[in-house]
Amino acid sequence: MAVSLKERVDPKQAVLVILDMQKGSWPPRSGRLGGQEILPELTSLIEAAREVRLPIIFVRNTHSEWTDTKSRIEQTEGIGVDYRTRYWEGTPGVDFLEGLKPEPSDLIFVKHSYSPYAHGPLDLVLKSRGIRTLLLTGGSVLGAVETVAKDSMVRGYNVVVVKDCVHPSSGPIHAMVVDYVNRHLGMAASSEEIMACWQA
């Protein structure tokens, strides 16, 4: 039997995951808000999650000479991306965007690639808390979000992509990922739909 949205987002078995909402993820560009465009919806969802005591994980992406592989450096140099100016440990780029303030009860989880499963104990963290569903937010939708959705599904977790709390929150890339998630990985739902389940 299919698992409903209300069952998936039950605070007793779900966790809110906030991916890569850092200053380095969204370097200033003319006419582009980047991650800031989803902050109103995301902060509302965080507040609602706290009210129902839903666990929250803030995932921080960092890089250093200890964690960047040669293949990663060669690939990013080839496309003109310098992680030393974006996610380098000890720089402002690893700080969360203004308005996102983890609380002591939240987990700050550090990753060094697209997926937090790759080099850290995320699976242990989730199993230790009895988590069955990950509510995925942050960005980018065709980077970290899509990768974590796949990695979670193959590990047996339910996946809900919060479609107005990922970046970009609309357009062809967003539509493609949302359709793929709904077909193969879990389901996509708006923050309003999720909060309505909690209120009910």
Question: The CATH number of the domain where 60 resides is what?
Answer: 3.40.50.850
Write the pLDDT tens digit of every residue in 139-170: 889 999 999 999 999 999 999 999 999 999 99
- Cα radius of gyration (the chain): 16
Q: Which of 11-20, 32-41, 142-151 has the lowest mean pLDDT?
A: 32-41
Domain that holds residue 107: 5-199
Is 80 exceeded by the pLDDT of residue 82?
no
| CB distance 181 to 174 below 8 Å | no
Helix (H) or strand (E) holding 187: strand 187-189
Contacts of 31 (CB under 8 A, 6+ apart): none
Q: How many structural domains compose the chain?
A: 1
Angle, CA 19 vertex, CA 16 and CA 23 arms, to 5°: 130
